[in-house]
Amino acid sequence: MTSKNIVKLLNDQIQKEFYSSYLYLSMTAYFKSVNLDGFANFYFIQAQEEKDHALRIFDYMNQIGAKIVLEKIDAPKVDFESIEEVLKLALEHEQFVTKSIHNIVDVALSEKDHSTYSFLQWFINEQVEEEDTADGNLKKFQLVGNDGRGILMIDAELAQRVYTPPVANN
Ligand SMILES: [Fe+2]
Ligand SMILES: [Fe+2]
């Protein structure tokens, strides 16, 4: 039986994942506006994956018969001054999400909620990847600084990213 406490945390996490999607969509719009289509492609896919994360929790909550309460999604930042600002914010945001996931894991452990604990393992691993990718993007950018050719090389690399839909019931 999942506690009210955990149900609330899972509902909050659905909201955080949708907010993440919204934030990355806003970053996509910024990169489109400065004609960096590779960066825009990367963040557009990121936005889709965050929506998938929200739906993964939605599915789990339905499976365990928990009451889903969809919460208000705040507006993300829309004005960005530089590429570096976006990349830093993306990394900070993923670090924030990792803390949030770890907190739910802590509570699940303390309540001996093995089902939720097991469910969250996927998210723990996903956050390791998310932070690594965001950190990699920031470091690559910092290497090239404001060199236009370097930025275009990163843009070309990020243009290669392809969206992979999640596998059902995984
Ligand atoms: Fe996520
Ligand atoms: Fe993420």
pLDDT at 61: 98
**How far, in Å, from the CA of 96 to the mean position of ligand 2?**
10
Q: What is the rounded distance in angstroms from the CA atom of residue 135 to the CA atom of residue 92?
A: 9
Ligand 1 midpoint to CA 150 (Å): 29
* Domain 4-158: assigned CATH number: 1.20.1260.10
CA–CA gap between residue 25 and residue 43 (Å, rounded) = 7
Whether the pLDDT of residue 14 is over 80: the answer is: yes
Contact at 8 Å (CB) between 22 and 54?
Answer: no
Question: For residues 59 and 15, is the Cβ–Cβ distance under 8 A?
Answer: no
Q: Are 126 and 102 in contact (CB under 8 A)?
A: no
Q: How many CB atoms lie within 10 A of CB 144?
A: 15
15-49 tens-digit pLDDT:
999 999 999 999 999 999 999 999 999 999 999 99
Could you read off the pLDDT of 94-148 as tens digits, one per residue?
A: 999 999 999 999 999 999 999 999 999 999 999 999 999 999 999 999 999 889 9
Assigned token pair, 54:
């929200």
